Amino acid sequence: MLEVHDLHASVGEIKILRGINFTVKKGETHAIMGPNGSGKSTFANVLAGRPEYTVTKGEVLLDGKNLLSMEPDVRAREGVFLAMQYPVELPGVRYNQFLKAALDAIREHKGEDQIDIRAFNQLLKEKGDLVEINPDLMRRNVNEGFSGGEKKRSEILQMALLEPHLALLDETDSGLDIDALKTVADGVNRLQDPEKSVILVTHYQRLLNYISPDFVHVLIDGKIAKSGDHKLALELENKGYDWLRETIPPVSETSGESAS
Amino acid sequence: MSKIAASEIAFIEHFDSFNSMMTSTQPNWLNQKRADAFTNYRTNGLPTGRRGNESWKYTDVRDISNTAFANSSEDLITSITEKDLLDSSHLNKNWSTLVFINGVYSSSLSTQNPNDGIQITNIKDALGSHGQIIERHLGKYIAPDDDPFVLLNTAFINDGAFIYIPKGIASQDPIHVIYFSTSETDPTISHPRTLIVTEEFSETTLIESYVGTPKAKYFTNNVTEIVIGEESRVDHYRLLLDNPDSFHIGTTVVHQEKASTFSSTSLQKGAALGRHNLTSTLAAPQSTCNLNGLYMTTGSQHIDNYINIEHIEPHTTSRLYYKGILDGSSRAIFGGTVTVQRGAMKTDAQQKDKNLLLSREAEVDSKPALFIYADDVICGHGATAGHMDDNSVFYMQSRGIDLLTARRMLIKAFASEIIEEVKIDSLREYLEDLFVSFEDELTLLQASSI
Ligand SMILES: Nc1ncnc2c1ncn2[C@@H]1O[C@H](COP(=O)(O)OP(=O)(O)OP(=O)(O)O)[C@@H](O)[C@H]1O
Ligand SMILES: [Mg+2]
């Protein structure tokens, strides 16, 4: 469902992604690991359409459609969801109004009617129970004053409600206590069905104890340095990343590594 | 400086004829007050930048000085109907409503439903029935009293709203004063005066609406004096909704007695040039004032808020929270000064001004200031100005919300902190609708802006 071909992206003059090749099929879960600053968040954000990144080369297809030509909101309506590493606080925007606007936009795109307010409240309650989020949070402003862990749960709640086809989770496990981690993992596992795919960005093996990825990729300096199955994550836990750095030539502009 | 501006010539001519008309009808003390005010006004005339006047530094009133305002005819005043009011203002039939057209009281458009000895009337009539109260309070709390526009207002006192709330009375419904302005070919001017005096243990809500006929050219120069008795509260709403071609200079002076509370919401959407001076004096212990404001500007509007809070006595509290949304090449000034006088220990004062700039050309000068002459106080102030946050917009879009809706929701969210605080349901709903009409004017919310 997602095909990434030779993707290069920059911020201003700074080159961050340097030729990513990557394929995710329906129903698969992929984990992306890699050292700080290697471009993991950039990759996830480029897929979601964050405007500050410029794609300088390459192509991304979602179900055969050119993803990069779509506005971020159109991507979301086409089923892409990004759980952000740093969820944004929206002072003055009520959580439930925000979620209803989002859900209605996605429903409208599918040719469905707006959800009626009572059905919405019911749905929100169900999904909230599922991710064990404090219901009081939903009466507040979006993420405003939420704790770090509450923000991450809030992202998972949004995902559960919007039911994306392709979920990008950028370090949703960071800053979570062990119970929250299980809840998040649960939320992700519940989302999984043969039609849906997940890309997890994580630093920790511990999440992968709960969510078993079909593939693990290591991103270094804007390129995929190695791909493997879940055993690669264990190997990384023991050996770190340095042994992989040598396997790619330093500062070479030629692309070629392929993954998946 | 030797050249006398068009409006000043007009003021001088008007004052002489106005004065000779008023002398026979107004009491001596008021005639004296008006004459003194006019003499003082003539010493300096209207403010200009050249005179280095700090309080008028950022607001150029030359457009006012250069306009020769004419008196409005009787026919013009009586031509205004209830429909004109409805088109420009909130109207609630259950409330006592005093309506003034170009400063002249309209008994036919006004509704008076006072309860329990509350006096809601026009100053002209009240001079007979409540002359002593008016004499005791009118002009007594204005400090410093050398503001040229205040002096002009006093010199031309003719009519306005008078409200008196006796001891222990809580007025059930809000009292609404509408100052409606209109003009024919020549620009008109009015100097409406409002005086509200509340005695101990009372509660009142006062709404002032400044509105006008679309396209009319006029200048409203108002002064409102609010005297709040011990243990009393006044909720005040001030809606500056004058048409976009008009001039508006307003002064509100609040005097607070022991353990009184003054809460105000000032909403400013109208006028080409708008200025509001607001002075609140916490003259006795335990008094509190909460001043909220929202200014919304488009085009080449200029809105200036000049606010002074004076903490005189101990254990007084003030909260000042103003927000601005600016579009086009509009400009806003926020000058907020909190002064804690020597005796005012245990003062708790916070002031904040936040601005959302929606275009590159819009500009705000925000100058909160604190002067503290007492010990053991808690005071804070801050000002911010910024453009719409790209991160927030992207976050919303990444959930499927389209760009225009995301922007609209964020702009609304910015204003909602002030609008949601409005406790009167029908007024809040009116303001929410008004906000939608403001949004419709914003460049960033046009489909063509994408
Ligand atoms: N908006 C930006 N402006 C400037 N530099 C940026 C920007 N976004 C990313 N970068 C730089 O690009 C590189 C990759 O950043 P990215 O956030 O993608 O890393 P990451 O792999 O997610 O790291 P971490 O594990 O710390 O989250 C970093 O060096 C970062 O400083
Ligand atoms: Mg990251």
β-sheet bridge partners, residue B198: B165, B228
> Which residues, including other chains, have CB under 8 Å from residue A128's CB and lie 6 or more apart?
A135, A138, A157
Give the closest residue (by CA) to ligand 1 atom 24: A36
Place of tokens 């809070």: B309
In short, whether A14's Cβ falls inside 6 Å of ligand 1 is yes
Rounded to a whole number, what is the largest CA-CA distance in chain B?
A: 72
Using DSSP, state whether B34 is helix, strand or coil. helix
- Contact residues on chain B for A88, CB-CB shorter than 8 A: 389, 391-392, 394-395
Residue B282, pLDDT score: 97
Q: How far apart are CA B166 and CA B164, in angstroms?
A: 6
Residues B157, B160, B162, B163: is their CA dihedral positive or negative?
A: negative
Averaged pLDDT for residues A166-176: 91
Cβ contact B83:B45 at 8 Å: no
Check A105 against B394: CB less than 8 A apart.
no
Residue B433, pLDDT score: 97
Q: Which of residues 277-306 of B touch A (CB under 8 A)?
A: none
Which tokens hold the place of B379?
């005071």
Q: How far apart are CA B190 and CA B212, in angstroms?
A: 12
Out of B403, B414, B417, whose CB is closest to A73?
A: B403
pLDDT of A180 higher than 80: yes
Check A73 against B412: CB less than 8 A apart.
no
Q: Which of residues 388-407 of B touch A (CB under 8 A)?
A: 389-392, 394-403, 405-406
Give one word for A232, left, alpha or beta, with left for phi > 0 and alpha for psi -120 to 50.
alpha
pLDDT of A260 higher than 50: no
pLDDT of A248 higher than 80: no
Residue B297 has φ and ψ, to the nearest 5°, of -125, 145
Range of the domain at A86: 2-245
Residue A257, pLDDT score: 42
- Upstream peptide bond of A250 is cis (omega within 30 degrees of 0): no
Asked whether residue A19 is assigned to any structural domain, the reply reads: yes
Q: How far apart are CA B209 and CA B87, in angstroms?
A: 13
Check A91 against B413: CB less than 8 A apart.
yes
pLDDT tens digits, residue range B50-89?
556 778 888 999 899 999 998 888 899 999 999 999 999 9
Closest ligand 1 atom to the C-alpha of A42?
Answer: 18
CA A175 vs CA A144, A149, A172, A180, A207: distances in Å: 17, 6, 8, 9, 12
Give the closest residue (by CA) to ligand 1 atom 28: A37
pLDDT tier at A21 (50, 70, 90 boundaries)?
very high
Asked whether residue A257 is assigned to any structural domain, the reply reads: no
pLDDT tens digits, residue range A49-94?
999 999 999 999 999 999 999 999 999 999 999 999 999 999 999 9
ipTM of the complex: 0.93
Asked whether residue A214 is assigned to any structural domain, the reply reads: yes
How many domains in chain A?
1
Q: Which residues of chain B carry a pLDDT beneath 50?
A: 1-2
pLDDT tens digits, residue range A112-159?
999 999 999 999 999 999 888 899 999 999 999 999 889 999 999 999
Q: How many angstroms away from the CA of B266 is the closest CA of chain A?
A: 19
Asked whether residue A128 is assigned to any structural domain, the reply reads: yes
Give the closest residue (by CA) to ligand 1 atom 2: A11
Residue A246, pLDDT score: 61
- Contact residues on chain B for A82, CB-CB shorter than 8 A: 398
Report the candidate in B198, B268, B267 with the shortest Cα–Cα distance to residue B234: B198
Q: How far apart are CA A84 and CA A80, in angstroms?
A: 12
Residue B52, pLDDT score: 64
Residue A247, pLDDT score: 59
Residue A256, pLDDT score: 41
Which residues of A touch chain B, with CB atoms under 8 Å apart? 48-52, 71-73, 75-77, 81-82, 84, 87-88, 90-93, 97-99, 101-103, 105-106, 109, 141, 158, 162
Probe ligand 1: pick from A14, A20, A33, A84, max atoms within 8 Å of CB?
A14
| CATH number of the domain where residue A169 is located | 3.40.50.300
Using DSSP, state whether B20 is helix, strand or coil. helix
pTM: predicted TM-score of the whole model, two decimal places: 0.93
Cβ contact B78:B19 at 8 Å: no
Residue A254, pLDDT score: 44
Best mutation site among A93, A95, A100, A124 for testing chain B: the one with the most B CBs within 10 Å? A93
Asked whether residue A254 is assigned to any structural domain, the reply reads: no
Residue B2, pLDDT score: 43
Domain locations in chain B as residue ranges: 6-284, 398-450
